[in-house]
Structures are given as structure tokens and as C-alpha cells.
Chain A
Amino acid sequence: MSHAWRPLFVVLAVMISIIVFRVIFVPSDFVAKNGDYKFQWHRLSSEEVWKNFPVKHKGRDFCQQCHSELVNKIKDSGHQHVQCENCHAMFEPGKKSHPIDLKDDFGYLLEIGIERSRELCKRCHAELPYRPQTYVITKGTTAETVKFKMIDPTKHNPGIECVMCHDVHSAGFKTAGK
């Protein structure tokens, strides 16, 4: 055979080794879904992995199982669209203070605690010139546009926790004896 054919064997060997590598290392569910090599070329099992990612924010319905009184109260208040987890899900380790271990008993993965700092309330209620001035709440079946209460934190009782005077769950002032 002519020496000119030798490079062909090299090419063939490279091609075969690539095929062998692919068969061994690329899983069988690695396909171009719907024949779309441009955008859908992936391991199909990865979709299931994302679908089975644990849900952590379970919303009011979960809290309502024990705290129905507070949940019903907040539903009638100006804070009706504020979720429990907005304020009670803790991101700092050590702030967790829920008496029952929600993770073991309910499979609930967020850390629940009570945050009383002014910083939390200021996220919505600090006055900024470009904040929307109104928001919408529903009363019964009708939607109502109400004024958004904002304060200047440097002038409005600085240094005192908001919850000294304000009841967060009724979005009003604290009444005597409560």
C-alpha cells in the first residue's frame, strides 16, 4: 500500500477514539430535544433535578395551620399583601427563634424568627421622593387605592423600635392591653 494512505489511518483512529470517548462518557439521555441542537441540547435528567428542587417559601397557608388568628388579622389590614415570610424568614444565623423545629416536624426549610429592627420597616416606609405614593388593597370585593404611609426615619421617633407604638399585624396603632 502506498505511503500516501497512512494519514488516513491516523484520521480513522482519531474518529474511532472520539466515538468511543462519547459512548463511555456522554450519558444516553444527552440529546437535542425536538431536534433543536441550538437551544435544547442537554441531559434530559437535568430538567427533573430542577423540578424536584425543594420549595421553601410555603406562604400564609402553611403558617395558618397554627397562627390562624394572626393570619386572619393581617388579611383585613393594610398589610394584607405582605407575606409572613417577608418579615419572619431570617437570613442571619442565630436569629432563628421559632419554638417548634419546623424542619424536622414539617419539612419547612426556612429559619423563622422575629425581627423588630427599624431597618425592616424602613424597607417600605422610609420616605423616598421616587417611591409610589399609593398602593391598592382589596376590601371585600372592591379594590381601593390608599395612601402609602411613609415617614422620615431621621425625624420620626429616631432610636425607638417601630413596634413600640405600631401593631404590624393590624397595620395600626397598638391598643391598650394588647
Chain B
Amino acid sequence: MNLSRRELLKMGLLAVCGTVIPLGALEILKPEAAASLIRPFSEKKRWAFVVDTTKCVGCGMCAKACKLENEIPFDTEVQRTWVERYVQLKDGEVIIDSPHGARYGFTKNDPQGKEINEDDVAKGLFVPKLCNQCEKPSCVQVCPVGATYKTDDGVVLVDRGWCIGCGYCITNCPYLARFFHPITNTADKCTFCYHRIKKGMNTACMDACSFGARKIGLLNDPASEVFKIISTHRVMVLKPEYGNEPQVFYIGLDDIVR
């Protein structure tokens, strides 16, 4: 092969330049990214949830309503949504509890069943929890039979007739949002009350909340309250380090919250 020194340098330089262009620089070529330049909001629907922990009083009406609405046997210790109590004492100790998933509410200052003096409490808060309906749900990725899946509008559901009950999804959820349904013996989880939101209603937990601590709505919809809150308030998600892209956004979290 006949290659001059000039040509070799030229081609070498070109190859080096070509390889150092990061794939991210080509992002603009993706159809969704191009479409977003023309229309500011994507037309794809996506359900999301906002929890305002500064409003939650820990009455547990959400947990009660959820159990009754979704036919989870009331006396069993499994729940689709629950409320956790975080209490930090003045000596720095953090006590976390959620008696019976808070379906009977918090009526006493007795975290972990130990009554504590009001003067010892430095701070405390209630954190309602539910399935985060992740954009990249790790529970779905591990299902060996395709019994759990994400719908087009972002809700993760379980096909009860197809689930074999292996429990991989339950152990893989970083938010511990899944459990075995004691009657169907399949994996079960919060569905964002799919049967209600699809009919234009709110979730059972949101309706049951007297203090407006829970809100459901569509992302990408400028009219939805959830979208307004997420785009104008300071919100946080739980455990972002897992990379699941959770879609339940919290107002007023603290670093003691797990």
C-alpha cells in the first residue's frame, strides 16, 4: 500500500477525532429529542405522584382506604401504601416505625412501642410511602415470566393470572413496595388505583387524605397540579442512587428518611 506521511497523519487524526465524540453528542438525533424542540411537552402520558410530608399528620386514613379499596385483607401485615414515622431524639438517635402499616393511625408518641418524653424529641415527620412506579422498574426486569410490566402511561402492574410467585420482584424492589398477596399468592403492589385513575377519579388514598398530602396527576400535562408542583417546587425522590427513576416526588423530606 502506498501511503504518504501526510495522508497517514490526516487519517490518523480523523480516526482519533471520530472516536472521541461521545455518544451523548449525537443525542439530538433521537426522534423524541427532536420532537421536544418543536413541541414543549411530549404527548406521552405518564402518571406521577406528589407527597407533601409537611402536611401529613399520620392519621393513616390512606392506608385504611387503600386496603379496603384494593381488597387486601385488612388484618394481614401487608400493605400497598403505608405511613412511616421518623423521630429524632435530642441525643441524635433516630427511631423509625410503622405499626401495622399505620392503618390504625398514630395515636401515641410511642415509636417502636416505647413511649418517649415529648421534651426529648428534636424533630419528627410522617412519610407516606407507596410504589414509586419507576421509569426503569427493577422489579419488572427480574420477572422470569413477564407477569409484571409497565403500561404505556407508566404504571407498573402485576398480571395475577400469569405470576408464578417466585418472589424475585419482591426482593428486588429497593422501596420494599411489593409483597405476597395472602389470598391470590401472587406478587402484589400499588397500582396507583389504575381502575380509578383510568375513570378520571383520584386514587383511594388521595381521596381519603383530609390534609391534601397526596396528589396524583399526569406529567407532561401543563394543567395537572402534580406537574405544576414538580416544575415549581423543591421536590425529592427516595433512594435516587438506585437509578430506578422513581415517579413519586416528596416535599419536605429529611436526611433521616430512608
Chain B minimum-CB-distance residue to A131 = B57
Contact of A122 among B105, B195, B210 (CB under 8 A): B105
B106 touches A128 (CB 8 A): yes
A91 touches B67 (CB 8 A): yes
Contact of B54 among A33, A49, A110, A132 (CB under 8 A): A132
User: Could you say which residues of chain B place their CB within 8 Å of the CB of A83?
Assistant: 207-208, 210
A42 touches B149 (CB 8 A): yes
Taken together as a complex, chains A and B put the C-alpha atoms of A86 and B199 apart, in Å, by 21
B65 touches A57 (CB 8 A): yes
User: Could you say which residues of chain B place their CB within 8 Å of the CB of A91?
Assistant: 64, 67-68, 74, 103
B210 touches A124 (CB 8 A): yes
B59: Cβ under 8 A from any A Cβ: yes
B177: Cβ under 8 A from any A Cβ: no
A41 touches B64 (CB 8 A): no
How many positions in chain A have a CB within 8 Å of any CB in the partner chain? 45
Q: A56-B68, A57-B68, A91-B74 are in contact. Are A86 and B104 (CB under 8 A)?
A: no
Instruction: Report the minimum CB–CB distance from A152 to chain B (whole Å).
Output: 10
Query: Chain B interface secondary structure, helix, strand, loop or mixed?
Result: loop
User: Could you say which residues of chain A place their CB within 8 Å of the CB of B137?
Assistant: 39
A85 touches B65 (CB 8 A): yes
Instruction: Report the minimum CB–CB distance from A127 to chain B (whole Å).
Output: 8
Taken together as a complex, chains A and B put the C-alpha atoms of A49 and B160 apart, in Å, by 9
Within 8 A of B (CB), among A24-49: 30, 33-34, 36, 38-43, 46-47, 49
A153 touches B107 (CB 8 A): yes
A34 touches B195 (CB 8 A): no
A34 touches B152 (CB 8 A): yes
Taken together as a complex, chains A and B put the C-alpha atoms of A52 and B198 apart, in Å, by 10
B46: Cβ under 8 A from any A Cβ: no
Within 8 A of A (CB), among B55-77: 55-61, 64-65, 67-70, 74
User: Could you say which residues of chain B place their CB within 8 Å of the CB of A36?
Assistant: 150
User: Could you say which residues of chain B place their CB within 8 Å of the CB of A168?
Assistant: none
A107: Cβ under 8 A from any B Cβ: no
Taken together as a complex, chains A and B put the C-alpha atoms of A33 and B140 apart, in Å, by 14
Contact of A123 among B54, B107, B161, B195 (CB under 8 A): B107
Taken together as a complex, chains A and B put the C-alpha atoms of A39 and B87 apart, in Å, by 37
A42 touches B105 (CB 8 A): no
Taken together as a complex, chains A and B put the C-alpha atoms of A110 and B126 apart, in Å, by 27
Taken together as a complex, chains A and B put the C-alpha atoms of A55 and B69 apart, in Å, by 7
What 10 A-B pairs come out closest when comparing CB atoms?
A: A130-B124, A123-B105, A42-B149, A53-B195, A46-B159, A122-B107, A123-B59, A39-B150, A81-B210, A41-B146
A33 touches B152 (CB 8 A): yes
Instruction: Name which of B136, B147, B159, B194 has the most chain A CB atoms within 10 A of its CB.
Output: B159
A128 touches B58 (CB 8 A): yes
B211 touches A135 (CB 8 A): yes
A156: Cβ under 8 A from any B Cβ: no
B35: Cβ under 8 A from any A Cβ: no
A86 touches B69 (CB 8 A): no
Contact of B57 among A57, A132, A136 (CB under 8 A): A132
Listed by A's residue number, 23 A-B pairs whose Cβ atoms lie within 8 Å are A34-B152, A39-B141, A40-B150, A41-B146, A41-B149, A43-B161, A43-B162, A46-B161, A51-B198, A55-B195, A56-B68, A79-B210, A86-B61, A86-B65, A91-B67, A123-B58, A123-B104, A124-B210, A128-B106, A129-B109, A129-B121, A130-B87, A132-B55
Q: A51-B198, A55-B199, A135-B55 are in contact. Are A42 and B159 (CB under 8 A)?
A: yes
User: Could you say which residues of chain B place their CB within 8 Å of the CB of A129?
Assistant: 109, 118, 121, 124
Taken together as a complex, chains A and B put the C-alpha atoms of A148 and B210 apart, in Å, by 12
Instruction: Report the minimum CB–CB distance from A53 to chain B (whole Å).
Output: 4
User: Could you say which residues of chain B place their CB within 8 Å of the CB of A30?
Assistant: 146
User: Could you say which residues of chain A place their CB within 8 Å of the CB of B123?
Assistant: 130
User: Could you say which residues of chain B place their CB within 8 Å of the CB of A123?
Assistant: 58-61, 104-107
Q: What 0/1 readout, one digit per residue, does chain B (221-235) give for beta carbons within 8 Å of chain A?
A: 000000000000000
